Chain A
Amino acid sequence: MNTLKRVAPLLIAIVLLLLLFRICVPNFLHPENLLDLTQQISINAILAFGMTLVILSGGIDLSVGALLALVGTTTVYFLTAGQTALGLCLAVPAGLVVAALFGLGNGVCASRTAMPPFIITLATMLIARGAALRFNEGRPMHVPDTQVLFLALGNGRLFGVIPVPVVVMLLLFAATSLLLHRTRFGQHLYAIGGNREAARFTGIPVARVEMLVYVLCSVLAGAAGMIHASQLYSAEPASGVMFELHAIAAAVVGGTSFTGGRGTMYGTLLGAIIIGILDKGLNQAGVHFSFQYIIKGLVILGAVYIDVRRRK
């Protein structure tokens, strides 16, 4: 009930956007177009789920975009290394381990030192980017055509209808929102974001929770990286630039407070959908790309303004 009330303006905005674009673009509401929309937002949404966790804890993770590239390249590197089956069994865990290690690094620095997360993750962003560019002299790495299963991750359709990335996105949404809204961990996360000292005084293992948050965010970025590589039939060391900012935008439009402690997974999903609709709608309405930037900037400003007003 409470959640519904909180996300109501987002739902209204979505309906309005859909209707308005329906006017400008004749077949905007065609099922196929909408299905494509969900597929287009999947990577950003998965990154935004992780980003929401981090922002809720009062932190920020700028390294997810670069990490997406690094995990993509690492995974594809191992995919090509072994035979088909062996490669796959090796590649996916290897990618996730790399992601988790980076997350652990971010988390240890953020929770055990006084360094601000903004700077920590700015640094690890550079490190991850550099590591990604070590692969194949920075050129795209081809996913072997024999890796059918891996290619299905980004391009397949469940029952021939629902794109696999969308299925993955929904599963991760269910998992992260359960974690955030239904578990002790989630409760502790909100407490830390709301008042770190209070959390410490009540015996919450602040450092451990924070560390786990960064690990989760990075692992989600890793999952997004694999989908990205699969969708593009290749891993791009130079990909993922600015993805962290789009993820932050989705979380913030969805009502996540930048100071931490406030925000929901539902909101973030809706925020990602709003940004997705804008991207698609403006593209299909033939709005010049220069205006697309301006409009998106204004929408983010507007959404945050409304959110701040509501809080008051």
Chain B
Amino acid sequence: MKKSIRGLNVLVFGLLLVTGVSCSKSSGPAQEKAEAGKGKLFAVSFQTMNNPFFVELNEGIKKVIEEHGDRLITMDAQFNSLKQKNDISDAILQGAAAIFINPVNWEGVTGSLKQAQRKAIPVIIVDAPVRDASLVLCQVASDNLEAGRLAAQALAEVNPKAKIVILHLHANKACIDRVAGFKEVLEKYPEMQILDIQEGKGSTEGARPVMVDLLGRFDELDAVFPINDPSALGVISALESGGRLDDVTVVTVDGSAEGIAAIKAGKLHSTSAQSPTTIGRIAAEKAYEHLAGKAVEKDIKIPVELITKANAE
């Protein structure tokens, strides 16, 4: 009896492993090539894969790497810094040629970066920055300053005398840049005026109540700059229920499907679209440039594109 159970034990674990390994083998021709001994191993660790932005970013990296006949392992940290640390450590010990990291916590990755540095493995940071930039090869992210500038410019073209409120996400470096770019353009238009800057938490649920309050405070308000698409959706919802959607212009940054849909519906004026695929592609290309011995610049900004009703599709 005991023996048969032990046998069962072995069988269960064995089966599971076979499933696992066969799953991994069936995931693409490039990988099979790598298994055959050719090609280099790359790894990417995302803070979450539960966001279309990162899925597209991953596709961008993967495309370049597979074109070179190499192999990419994608790891999902699920917003868990510890898991990200462990994942990266696994990749380092497997001798990855380079590692791409989208950090959960911009300080939390320090240990991983040091570990990679000891093994002389280059690290490329994508989308969000890290605290100690000296430990990484380069950081690739959207040009958020430019995104803010584009939004302000778009607003100036429809309403050069706009009375504006900004819904910020104060803690986020990317959003800080967006607002800085936005304000930069405003200096050229003395008649445009910022009435207030409030924390909108970067989310639909967070932005809506804040916007309702702002509408109550400022009758003259006629433009809003929520720093991303989700908070723009919250703002639109608040404007709709307050009956102010027609006389208030909303401009934002992101370029998500929901944002573009809102533009097509005429509720959102513009969004400065980021291109996650481009970020991924450039990041991967920089890795290959470094491996080929070329110098790589530290801070790479990926241009953003303004989307309005004219080019929304």
Residues of A within 8 A of B (CB): 8-9, 12-13, 16-17, 20-21, 24-25, 27, 30, 32-33, 36, 39-40, 43, 137-140, 142, 154-155, 228, 231-234, 236, 238-239, 241-242, 279-280, 282-289, 291-292, 295, 298-299, 302, 305-306, 309-310
Do A286 and B93 form a contact, CB below 8 Å, given A43-B82, A232-B107, A233-B111? no
| B90 interface residue (CB < 8 Å to A) | yes
- 19 intermolecular pairs with C-beta atoms under 8 Å apart: A13-B9, A16-B10, A20-B21, A21-B17, A33-B93, A40-B89, A43-B82, A137-B171, A139-B171, A140-B105, A154-B111, A231-B82, A234-B110, A236-B81, A241-B79, A287-B21, A288-B23, A295-B17, A295-B20
Point out the residues of chain B lying under 8 angstroms from A16, CB to CB: 10, 13-14
- Cβ-closest chain A residue relative to B41: A286
Complex interface bits, B73-94 against A, C-beta within 8 A gives 1, otherwise 0: 1111011111001110111011
Interface residues of B in 1-21 (CB under 8 A from A): 2, 5-6, 8-10, 12-14, 16-17, 19-21
Q: Are B79 and A36 in contact (CB under 8 A)?
A: no
Main secondary structure of the interface of A (DSSP, over half): helix
Chain A's nearest CB lies how many Å from the CB of B82? 6
Asked if B31 CB lies within 8 Å of chain A CBs, one says: yes
Given A231-B82, A283-B87, A310-B5: A289 and B76 interface contact (C-beta under 8 Å): yes
For the complex, is B24 an interface residue (Cβ under 8 Å from A)?
yes
**How many positions in chain B have a CB within 8 Å of any CB in the partner chain?**
46
The answer to whether B111 touches A25 (Cβ under 8 A) is no
List residues of chain B with CB within 8 A of the CB of A21: 17
Whether B10 and A12, one on each chain, are in contact in the complex, defined by CB atoms closer than 8 angstroms, is yes
| Residues of chain A lying within 8 A (CB to CB) of residue B131 | 142
Interface status of B27 (Cβ within 8 A of chain A): yes
A288 — which chain B residues lie within 8 A by C-beta?
23-24, 27, 74
Alpha-carbon distance between A119 and B143 when the two chains are bound, in angstroms: 47
Is chain B's binding surface mostly helix, strand, loop or mixed?
Answer: helix
Are A233 and B107 interface neighbours, CB within 8 A?
A: yes
* Chain A residues positioned under 8 Å from B5 (CB to CB): 9, 306, 309-310
Residues of A within 8 A of B20 (CB): 282, 285, 287, 291-292, 295
Whether the Cβ atoms of A286 and B73 lie closer than 8 Å is: yes
| A residues less than 8 Å from B71 (CB atoms) | 286
Contact: B13 with A30, CB < 8 Å?
A: no
- Is B106 located at the chain interface by the 8 A CB criterion? yes
Residues of chain A within 8 A of B79, CB atoms compared: 238, 241
Q: Enumerate chain A residues within 8 angstroms of B82, measured Cβ to Cβ.
A: 43, 228, 231-232, 239
Docked Cα-Cα span, A21 to B106, in Å, equals 32
Smallest CB-CB separation from B94: which chain A residue? A284
Contacts of A309 in B (CB 8 A): 5, 8
Check if A239 sits within 8 Å of B107, measured CB to CB.
no
Using Cβ atoms and an 8 Å threshold, which residues of chain B touch A32?
93
User: Quick check: is B49 within 8 A (CB to CB) of the other chain?
Assistant: yes
Question: Across the interface, do A232 and B108 meet the contact criterion of CB distance under 8 Å?
Answer: yes
Which residues of the other chain, B, contact A13 by a CB distance below 8 angstroms? 9-10, 13
Which chain B residues lie closer than 8 Å to A302 at the CB level? 12-13, 16
Q: What 1/0 mask marks residues of chain B from 87 to 128 whose CB sits below 8 Å from any chain A CB?
A: 101110111000000000111101100000000000000000
